[in-house]
């Protein structure tokens, strides 16, 4: 090693040791005949001192060192006169006797400090400099630590990590595949996996019993702030289990992660039916850090000649505790919020439960004091509370009120990043109607098992069929989801039929799985966690981009290496493809 110690480890216990350190110049300052340099590496920061009285030439060299220069110094550990007890190394400094410049540095395009002046684009282009900043590096260290903990836990539970292939087969179901032209099989293509779903099921057929993999997956979808074309899953599958076993094993995983990585003791993870989640929160991933459940008002508000309520399929509201004193302006903001096109609400009704106990609504014309008392009872409102009510088509108004609820949670400071509320959401619908294609799609994927007692409804009422499917939600974010799988060829074929596959299409795309089910497939099920998302929650971040070492921008470009890019004609010729741009 070029160093004897790192920049993070020397303390008063090392006094008078002769040491050699390497690292980057964080900053330097002159004071009389002295130069002080803060030298940084991954492990910390150490102060170096150069004194003209001791070695004028070396001190002159030290003064020439710019930010981010890479240096190697030898010297003696001495006690600082001016201690900084906030730093691990703050009681000592190195009285340098030898200075070596390992590499100079141009001035970085932004500050390499915890708070930087660099914009997103600049930091992406110079990601290797951005990653020098402690918060950026700490995110990846956290990611490493979490991956290690995941593996330790699952290995300890007899799970085997198996690498499944990256060059697989394109299937039209689901999101768009990235494809890879095959030179050796001209005109044919591999696809990159959206998940190792079928392979992990085959491993169960093979008797692997407990499989996991921390694995890259790929989706060629239009990108939003929080989507990346390549992302990482903790992918898991178990055989000879029931849903309850999966819930227990993976609740254990999440609790272990919180305990070992964040030092947080989670209580047992509560469970909620999908239908309850939709009814009480208007979302299949409710943020349960705060209460503010939906209250349905049809029984109370209809028949009072207020057409908005009378004509609505559902009238529903929340109790914003302590908000009775909201000003007109604040209430207008809320109305504007729910009227934004991405939410699409039509209007907001409110009732103030004033500090003096009086009730006053924005629709006093239609509802008298007795009516409002009923409202108050329904919401359990107390003096000081503000009731916010919306009306409309059931699914739509629930989604809209969910947005308002989350907004109120933000305004009231109820969504604390240091608080964690995990939740199992259970019994998802098997199918969901897709407006674009005019048919049902698998809500989870085509391999999810319907509840036995609901199979009969596949023909009569497909939208009502429930699946043995479950999501884990933390703080309103879906971090994982899975299901008990079909392990029977006939039921799987029936599912494909209901998803619009012809017999030939099913055989052509998934014949290997249907065949496998005939050779002794055990009951099995599994789950996959979005690892980028999970790390971002642990890091207290809103975006997954900051927990990915080299992320792509919203156009799917890596602006640092300038990819994608054109390739040589010779490459295209060898692959027997041409571009049609």
151 sits near a second copy (criterion: CB under 8 A): yes
188 sits near a second copy (criterion: CB under 8 A): yes
* Paired strand residues for 104: none
Give the number of residues written for the chain: 581
**Site residues for a second copy, window 282-321 (CB under 8 A)?**
none
CB burial string 404-428: b at 16+ within 10 A, e below = bbbbbbebeebbeeeebbbbbbbbb
- Residue number with CB closer to a second copy (22 or 116): 22
When binding is defined by CB under 8 A, the residue of 5, 10, 19, 24 that contacts a second copy is: 24
How far is the C-alpha of 128 from the C-alpha of 199, rounded, in Å? 35
Region near a second copy per CB under 8 A, out of 52-60, 328-336, 431-439, 516-524: 516-524
Site size with a second copy, rule: CB under 8 A: 122
**Site residues for a second copy, window 111-140 (CB under 8 A)?**
126-129, 131-132, 137, 140
198 sits near a second copy (criterion: CB under 8 A): yes
**Site residues for a second copy, window 240-279 (CB under 8 A)?**
240-242, 245
Strand order in the sheet with 210-218: 160-161, 210-218, 230-239, 524-530, 477-484, 469-474, 422-426, 271-273
- Residue number with CB closer to a second copy (207 or 357): 207
174 sits near a second copy (criterion: CB under 8 A): no
When binding is defined by CB under 8 A, the residue of 19, 191, 386, 431 that contacts a second copy is: 191
106 sits near a second copy (criterion: CB under 8 A): yes
Tokens of 519: 């050779």
518 sits near a second copy (criterion: CB under 8 A): yes
550 sits near a second copy (criterion: CB under 8 A): yes
Tokens of 144: 């490493």
Tokens of 37: 């340099």
* Distance, first Cα to last Cα, the chain: 52
Region near a second copy per CB under 8 A, out of 160-168, 263-271, 322-330, 424-432: 160-168
Residue located via tokens 């509320």:
421
Tokens of 261: 């990585």
Q: Among residues 400, 517, 509, 515, which one has the least CA distance to residue 449?
A: 517
Region near a second copy per CB under 8 A, out of 157-165, 272-280, 358-366, 440-448: 157-165
When binding is defined by CB under 8 A, the residue of 35, 46, 164, 243 that contacts a second copy is: 164
- Residue number with CB closer to a second copy (198 or 335): 198
User: ω into residue 564 within 30 of 0, thus cis?
Assistant: yes
474 sits near a second copy (criterion: CB under 8 A): no
230 sits near a second copy (criterion: CB under 8 A): yes
Region near a second copy per CB under 8 A, out of 50-58, 176-184, 416-424, 446-454: 176-184
* Paired strand residues for 78: 93
**Burial class of residue 278 (count of CB atoms within 10 Å of its CB; 0-12, 13-18, 19+):** buried
549 sits near a second copy (criterion: CB under 8 A): yes
Beta-carbon count within 10 A of 526 CB: 24
How far is the C-alpha of 26 from the C-alpha of 40, rounded, in Å? 6
Region at 371 (left for phi over 0; alpha for psi -120 to 50; beta for the rest): alpha
149 sits near a second copy (criterion: CB under 8 A): no
168 sits near a second copy (criterion: CB under 8 A): yes
110 sits near a second copy (criterion: CB under 8 A): no
Shortest Cβ distance from residue 150 to a second copy (Å)?
Answer: 11
42 sits near a second copy (criterion: CB under 8 A): yes
**Site residues for a second copy, window 495-514 (CB under 8 A)?**
511-512
- Residue number with CB closer to a second copy (85 or 581): 581
581 sits near a second copy (criterion: CB under 8 A): yes
Q: Among residues 526, 546, 522, which one has the least CA distance to residue 536?
A: 546
When binding is defined by CB under 8 A, the residue of 346, 477, 523, 541 that contacts a second copy is: 523
Region near a second copy per CB under 8 A, out of 207-215, 269-277, 344-352, 359-367: 207-215
Residues 6+ apart with CB under 8 A from 11: 88, 89, 91, 92
């Amino acid at each position: 090693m070029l160093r004897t110690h790192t920049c993070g480890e020397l303390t008063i216990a090392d006094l008078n040791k002769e040491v050699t350190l390497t690292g980057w110049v964080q900053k330097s300052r002159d004071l009389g005949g002295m130069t002080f340099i803060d030298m940084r590496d991954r492990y910390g920061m150490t102060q170096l001192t150069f004194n003209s009285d001791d070695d004028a030439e070396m001190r002159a060299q030290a003064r020439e060192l710019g930010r981010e220069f890479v240096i190697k110094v030898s010297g003696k550990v001495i006690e600082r006169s001016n201690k900084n007890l906030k730093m691990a190394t703050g009681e000592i400094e190195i009285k340098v006797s030898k200075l070596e410049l390992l590499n100079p540095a141009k001035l970085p395009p932004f500050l390499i400090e915890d708070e930087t002046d660099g914009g997103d684009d600049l930091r992406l282009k110079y990601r290797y400099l951005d990653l020098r900043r402690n918060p950026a590096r700490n995110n990846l260290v956290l990611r490493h630590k979490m991956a290690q903990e995941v593996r330790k836990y699952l290995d300890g539970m007899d799970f085997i990590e198996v690498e499944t292939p990256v060059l697989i087969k394109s299937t039209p179901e689901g999101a768009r595949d990235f494809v890879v032209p095959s030179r050796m099989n001209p005109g044919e293509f591999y696809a990159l996996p959206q998940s190792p779903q079928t392979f992990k099921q085959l491993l169960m057929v093979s008797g692997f019993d407990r499989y996991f993999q921390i694995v890259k997956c790929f989706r060629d979808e239009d990108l939003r702030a929080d989507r990346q074309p390549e992302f990482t899953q903790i992918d898991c599958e178990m055989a000879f289990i029931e849903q309850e076993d999966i819930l227990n094993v993976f609740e254990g995983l999440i609790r272990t992660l919180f305990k070992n990585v964040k030092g947080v003791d989670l209580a047992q993870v509560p469970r909620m039916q999908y239908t309850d989640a939709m009814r009480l929160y208007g979302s299949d991933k409710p943020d349960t850090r705060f209460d503010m459940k939906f209250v349905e008002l049809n029984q109370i508000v209809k028949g009072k000649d207020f057409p908005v309520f009378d004509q609505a399929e559902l009238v529903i509201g929340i109790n914003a505790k302590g908000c009775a004193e909201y000003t007109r302006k604040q209430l207008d903001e809320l109305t504007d919020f729910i009227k934004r096109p991405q939410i699409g609400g039509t209007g907001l009704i409110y009732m103030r439960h004033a500090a003096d106990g009086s009730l006053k609504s924005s629709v006093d014309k239609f509802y008298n004091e007795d009516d409002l008392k009923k409202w108050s009872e329904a919401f359990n409102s107390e003096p000081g509370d503000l009731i916010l009510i919306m009306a409309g088509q059931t699914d739509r108004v629930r989604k809209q009120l969910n947005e308002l609820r989350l907004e109120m949670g933000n305004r009231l400071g109820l969504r604390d990043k240091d608080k964690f509320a995990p939740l199992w959401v259970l019994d998802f619908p098997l199918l969901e109607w897709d407006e674009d294609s005019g048919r049902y799609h698998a809500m989870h994927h085509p391999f999810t098992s319907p509840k036995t007692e609901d199979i009969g409804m596949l023909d009569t009422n497909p939208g009502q069929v429930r699946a043995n499917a479950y999501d884990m939600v933390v703080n309103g974010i879906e971090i994982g989801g899975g299901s008990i799988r079909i392990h029977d060829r006939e039921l799987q074929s029936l599912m494909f039929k209901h998803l619009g596959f012809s017999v030939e299409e099913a055989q052509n795309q998934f014949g290997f799985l249907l065949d496998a089910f005939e050779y002794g497939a055990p009951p099995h099920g599994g789950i996959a966690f979005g690892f980028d998302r999970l790390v971002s929650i642990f890091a207290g971040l809103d975006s997954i981009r900051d927990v990915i070492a080299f992320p792509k921008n919203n156009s799917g470009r890596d602006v640092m290496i300038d990819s994608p890019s054109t390739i040589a004609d010779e490459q295209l010729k060898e692959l027997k493809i041409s571009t049609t741009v």
